[in-house]
Amino acid sequence: MSPPASPGLPALETPLAREGHVFLQGEPMRALLEAAGSLSDWDSFAASWNGLELDRHMADGGRYRRRRHAVYAAGRDGPVERQPHQPHYQSRDYNRLNGGVARWFEPILPEIGSGASLDTLLRFCRGLFGRLSPQVANWHIEAHQFRIEARAGEAGQPTPEGVHRDGVDWVLVLLVRRQNIASGVTTIHRPDGSPLGSFTLTAPCDATLIDDSRVYHGVTAVQPLDPAQPAYRDVLVLTFRSEAAAS
């Protein structure tokens, strides 16, 4: 049985079911989130990206990515519960660059992981994805905080593995902040590689939601507008996978 629809969800649910992806600008996305819960700690939530740790698992030797990670479990309703800290794993079928190994990242800080904004985002996605996958009783959810940095002579690669799938059921990519960067265009593709669309996340809460079983996605490299100033792209990625498939 599908969970009831929240106000405004059909604006996402219908195109996501039809096309396998949807892009929503920040203001309407924030309105949907605020209708579903609280974003009362948004300022501290966004500021927590300043405390991300360097990703030391980059097989390309890059030092342009910082991140933190957490795992949650959720049923069709009820609480979304954080799980003991554990590694992130993708097979090489989904990540040709960094797959095939268990990657341990620093955990999302407790006050951020249990804060209002992340809780609202998790429950909002659980409701939306649950309506689109009514057969799923329990979800394995991973939350990733990413900062992609760009410097003079070193572009930042939001998707260094290239156009890809994540090996899950559903994906949310939400922009938190974009500072002094050019490019970072999100591209959506059919499995045969042909393009389905492109857009750029530019404002806080700009978001894309993806049916990972149906479409591929990638993001072009980012470069600093002013090489003398800090340049970065902060995003939250939430992935939802059927607990039956994850176990």
CATH label of the domain that carries residue 210: 2.60.120.620
Residues 6+ apart with CB under 8 A from 14: none
Residues 6+ apart with CB under 8 A from 11: 24, 28, 32
In a domain, 3, yes or no: no
In a domain, 1, yes or no: no
Amino acid 153: pLDDT: 85
C-alpha–C-alpha distance, residues 114 and 166, integer Å: 25
Higher pLDDT, 26 or 6: 26
CA distances from 180 to 4, 61, 175, 233 (A): 41, 24, 14, 9
Amino acid 92: pLDDT: 57
Arithmetic mean of pLDDT, 181-190: 96
Arithmetic mean of pLDDT, 15-34: 96
Query: pTM for the complete prediction?
Result: 0.92
**Least confident range of 96-100, 109-113, 119-123, 171-175:** 96-100
In a domain, 72, yes or no: yes
Q: pLDDT band for 1, please (50, 70, 90 cuts).
A: very low
In a domain, 22, yes or no: yes
Q: pLDDT band for 88, please (50, 70, 90 cuts).
A: confident
In a domain, 193, yes or no: yes
In a domain, 226, yes or no: yes
Amino acid 158: pLDDT: 86
* Domain limits for position 222: 10-246
Query: What pLDDT, in 10s, does the model give residues 50-63?
Result: 999 998 877 676 78
In a domain, 4, yes or no: no
Arithmetic mean of pLDDT, 79-101: 74
Looking at residue 36, its amino acid is A
- Looking at the 3D structure of the chain, how many domains does it have? 1
Q: What is the DSSP string of 118-178?
A: HHHHHHHHHHHHHHH-TT--EEEEEEEEEEEE-BTTB-B-SSTT-SB--SSSEEEEEEEEE
Amino acid 2: pLDDT: 46
The chain-wide mean pLDDT, for the chain, equals 90
Higher pLDDT, 10 or 239: 239
In a domain, 5, yes or no: no
- The CA R_g of the chain, rounded to the nearest whole Å, is 17
